[in-house]
């Protein structure tokens, strides 16, 4: 599965981060523009002042910012890293519809954005042999440390709540549940939590695994031309 950009990206220079969701970048014309950043993570090793960043012009006239950040180049790893947290769901939607995720080959795509209680989960799947349901939550991973992808890159109360609710639903037996990490880079050997950043999420993830919530992951190849969903990565749920 892949997303094609069809020459829609513009290579700019990242200048500074104004807040969690807004960057200042210099376009090839020399003009300085505010750019929307879809990823609220720290991204401290990815967004380097003076480094290249690829941005895309918005077609929405109501947008406050004309441009959106798409990817950056990590010189230390010699790879591109996607900055758009919406891309994983687009890739997973297509992969589920075409039944290309091996860990879920017994399940059929039902719908995206399924609400249970006070939470809305990314996907609802139905077992092919019975009426059993599975809730799937997708998480974007960009942080790398010693070859491991780490989640989250910033404290995520919402992410922890989602995993806690998946655990509760799994224990009740009303749903099967799973979390799929999508690494938006190619240089990772596995995915784990980041207790030094968000100890609560790390604890919740470990407990969820013990209670039957499934965790698995995929990597991506990222280039200015396209983003491609790749093979499986191991997930390590126990805290260091």
Rounded to two decimals, the pTM is: 0.92
Measured over the CA atoms of residue 218, residue 94, residue 106 and residue 179, the dihedral's sign is positive
> Is residue 55 within 8 Å of residue 89, measured between CB atoms?
no
Q: Enumerate residues 6+ apart whose C-beta is below 8 A from 24.
A: 15, 16, 17, 18, 32, 33, 34, 35
Q: Which pLDDT does position 175 carry in this prediction? A: 95
pLDDT at 42: 87
Task: Give tens-digit pLDDT for 160-208.
Answer: 999 999 999 999 998 999 999 999 999 999 999 999 999 999 999 999 9
Nearest-5° angle of CA 172, CA 175, CA 177? 105
Per-residue pLDDT tens digits for 52-75: 999 998 877 777 888 999 999 988
Beta bridge partners of 216: 180
State pLDDT tens for residues 2-55. 889 888 999 999 999 999 899 999 999 999 999 999 988 888 889 999 999 999
The span from the CA of 53 to the CA of 33, in Å, is 13
Which letter does DSSP use for residue 83 in this model?
A: -
Question: 80-134: per-residue pLDDT in tens?
Answer: 999 999 999 999 999 999 999 999 999 999 999 999 987 899 999 999 999 899 9
| Local confidence band at 227 (pLDDT 50, 70, 90 cut-offs) | very high
Q: Which residues pair with 3 in a beta bridge?
A: 227
The strand ranges marked E within the chain are 2-4, 9-19, 22-26, 32-36, 52-57, 67-74, 79-82, 107-116, 119-127, 133-141, 143-145, 148-151, 176-183, 190-193, 214-222, 226-233, 235-236
- DSSP, collapsed to helix, strand or coil, labels residue 99 as coil
Q: What is the pLDDT of residue 239?
A: 67
Residue 225 has pLDDT above 90, yes or no: yes
Domains and CATH numbers, the chain: 2-77 (2.40.50.580), 87-236 (3.40.1350.60)
């Amino acid at each position: 599965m892949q997303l094609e950009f069809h020459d829609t990206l513009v290579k700019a220079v990242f200048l500074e981060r104004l807040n969690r969701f807004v960057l200042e970048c210099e376009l090839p014309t020399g003009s300085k523009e505010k750019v929307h950043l879809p990823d609220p993570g720290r991204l401290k090793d990815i967004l380097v002042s003076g480094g290249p960043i690829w941005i895309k012009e918005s077609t929405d006239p109501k947008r406050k910012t004309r441009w959106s950040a798409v990817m950056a180049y990590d010189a230390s790893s010699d790879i591109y890293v996607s900055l758009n947290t919406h891309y994983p769901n687009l890739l997973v939607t297509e992969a589920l519809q075409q039944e290309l995720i091996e860990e879920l080959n017994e399940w059929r795509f039902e719908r995206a954005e399924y609400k249970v209680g006070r939470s809305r989960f990314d996907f609802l799947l139905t077992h092919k042999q019975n009426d059993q349901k599975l809730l799937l939550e997708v998480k974007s991973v960009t942080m790398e440390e010693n070859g491991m992808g780490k989640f989250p890159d910033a404290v995520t109360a919402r992410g922890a709540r989602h995993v806690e609710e998946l655990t509760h639903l799994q224990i009740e037996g009303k749903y099967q549940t799973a979390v799929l990490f999508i690494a938006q880079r190619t240089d990772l050997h596995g995915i784990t939590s980041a207790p030094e950043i968000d100890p609560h999420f790390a604890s919740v993830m470990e407990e969820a695994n013990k209670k039957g919530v499934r965790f698995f992951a995929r990597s991506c190849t990222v280039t200015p031309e396209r983003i491609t969903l790749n093979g499986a990565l191991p997930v390590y749920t126990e805290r260091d």
